[in-house]
Every structure is written in C-alpha cells, then in structure tokens.
Amino acid sequence: MSTDDDLTFFKPRYLSDASLESVQEADAPYDLITFLAVIQKLQVDILPTTWQAARQPIGVGATGIINEALIDLHTSFAFKRASNRQKEKQAEERIIHTLISEVIALGHPLIRKHRNIVELQGICWDIVSDDRGNDKVWPVLVFEKSQYGDLYSFATLPVGRALCVAERLKLCVDVGIAILDMHFNKIIHGDIKPENVLVFKDDAGAYTARVTDFGYSTRFAGEDDLVSVPKSWPWCAPECEHEKLKPIQARKMDVFSFGMLCLWVLFEKYLSGITPHMCKSILADLKQQDRLAMLAQQLVLAERDIETDKKKALERFFSTSLARNPDERDESLSALPGLLIPTW
C-alpha cells in the first residue's frame, strides 16, 4: 500500500527566490575564482584529495568523464572531470560554466538532499602539467558512486532484465518526481535520458533512480528568460531546433524526453533489437513518424502484468508526454500519482 510520505512527493517542494540569493552575477567571468565563489556561497565541501590519473573510468557523458575511487569496502566515489579532449576542444570559460551550472543546480537547498537526485559530495582538484612544466588546476566534482551504474546500462544487465513491470515503473516514477521538484524550483535539467539516471539499491533491497549530469541545467529567474538545451539523440523533443527557448518550452522538452525514457524503461525488452544503437534508431524513427505515443499505448494494452487502473494512467501519461505538439503536453505530470500507488 502507498504511504502519506509517497503521496507528498507529488506536491512539489518550493523555495522562494527571496530565500535563495543569486550566486552568479550575469556579468561575472566563468573562471576558477568565480567557481570558488559559487562553492563557498553554497557551502560545498572541498575534499582533502586530488584527482589521480590511475583511477578507473566508469563512464563518459556529454559534460565530462566519470572515474571511480574505492574509499573502503562499502564506499566509493565517482569523480566527474573535464576530459582531455574537452580541454583541447573547448574554451576554459565554457568548461567552468558547465561545472558552475551543475554545482548551482545540485547546491539548491531542496535539491541537494533529494532522494531522486544524485548528491554532490564535494569537489577536489585535477592538477595538469603542460609541456613546459606549468601546472593548471581544474575543478573535479565528487559524487557517491552508484552500485549499478546508469539506467541505460542497468536495464540491459541480467539484474535489470529480471525486473518486473512494477519495479520498472517505480524507477520511472523516481525520475518523474525529480523532474517535478526541479521544475517547481525553476531548474530545468535539459538532458533527460537513461544515461543521465543512476540506479541505487537501498537497505530494503528496492532499486531507486537518481537523476544526474546537470551540466546542461539552467536555473531561470522568470518566464521571459531564455535558456539553452542540448540536442541529445534520440531523446530530445521534436522541436529541439532553437538555441534559446523560454522556460515553459524547455520544461515541456524535459517532459517529452521523460516520456521517451519511460517508454524505453518499461518496454526495453521489445525495443532492444540486436544492439543498443539499433534500439535508439528505432526510437528516433518512431519519433520522426510521430508514432511514439501510439506504440506506447499499444504496448501498455498488450502488457498482461499491468492492471486496468494502471493501464489507464499509463495511456494518459504517454499521450500527454509524447505529444508532438508541445501545447498538448502535461507539464504537471498529473498521471504520476496513479502510477505510484501499487495495486499489483
């Protein structure tokens, strides 16, 4: 049965702008000094460790490379840093800007301890020497490492493939709760996809999803602001053509990407094909043909392990999240409560 605590997560928690002062002036340069000012303002810990090149890589994202370090038998950290290729291809200001965006989003008082958003443990430093022996210092973000990696990899592992529909749906709801609370507190993730969701296992043995990689996130002040979102194939919304969007447009793009994520998580066994790339190609083709919502509803109806009330909620969710017309998308994700209450 559901609990009152479960249902309160569908009443987004809000912190007024008056209680959260700006930590980044519009005309401030994106450099190491500004980065230090931001972490000081948000009281992010500087950890007594430095980046070591021997640490094992565990993932590469659009905004950095992830490595791990074992602390003890029960704890390990994941380190997110700019890759050497990024340092060669991108200006320092752009890299620092990305890191600051992530720290600001994760340092928000109602986000930093959110049960469905990865927790920033602190920062440390990556010290790089050039050919002349000059040292360059780069910030490194430090997170608790997931036991199972990202959702895209987890879903294709034997343990992921063994999940029942209820467990898969619970992971989807976890991501939806995170998106709702982010949007209600004026944070747009901008790059919702399975690779940007980590899977953890709690003490009771239940799997939990936590959204990660806030390098493309934006915290806006008003509805007339303009924000940027990336084009992450194939998860981005069909209208992802403009470099600058109003917040309501960007939020509805998050909703569409979330709908695609849920379609893939719930029915990955039907969509996987021969290779993961083929699965993505199938989704991209269906999106191009405006057939994602129709396919989702067909798969929901055909799934024997979903009861009638859940099927109705899922049909409504997919029709209002995967709508090609952004005006038809349900930004409030009102179908989520009906998906959480277990009746299996």
Query: Residues 221-260: pLDDT tens digits?
Result: 889 998 888 888 999 999 987 678 899 999 999 999 999 9
| pTM greater than 0.75 (yes/no) | yes
* Cα atoms in the 13 Å half-sphere on the side-chain side of 99: 34
* Residue 4: band (very low, low, confident or very high) from pLDDT cuts 50, 70, 90: very low
Number of H helices, E strands in the chain: 12, 10
Yes or no: say if 197 and 222 are a contact pair by the CB < 8 Å rule: no
pLDDT at 344 over 60: no
* 156 pLDDT higher than 90: no
Contact 216, 63 (CB under 8 A): yes
- pLDDT value at position 7? 43
Q: How far apart are CA 320 and CA 259, in angstroms?
A: 9
CATH H-level, domain 148-340: superfamily: Transferase(Phosphotransferase) domain 1 (1.10.510.10)
| Burial class for 183, CB neighbours closer than 10 Å (0-12, 13-18, 19+) | buried
Bridge-based pairing state of the strands 120-129 and 46-50: parallel
Looking at residue 18, what is its pLDDT?
A: 45
Position 201 pLDDT exceeds 50: yes
Residue with tokens 């709760």: 177
Given CATH 3.30.200.20, say whether it is the number of domain 12-144: yes
Ranges assigned E (strand) in 189-300: 197-201, 207-211, 218-219
**pLDDT classification of 337: cutoffs 50, 70, 90:** confident
Strands 218-219 and 187-188: antiparallel
- The pLDDT score that the predictor gives to residue 59 is 46
Q: Two tokens at 93?
A: 């200001």
Considering only CA atoms, which of 77, 235, 251, 263 is closest in space to residue 179?
251
Provide, for the chain, the percentages of residues in helix, strand and coil under a 3-state DSSP scheme, each rounded to the nearest 5.
40, 20, 40
Domain locations in the chain as residue ranges: 12-144, 148-340
Cα angle 201, 205, 207; round to 5:
40
Going by pLDDT thresholds of 50, 70 and 90, the confidence category of residue 1 is very low
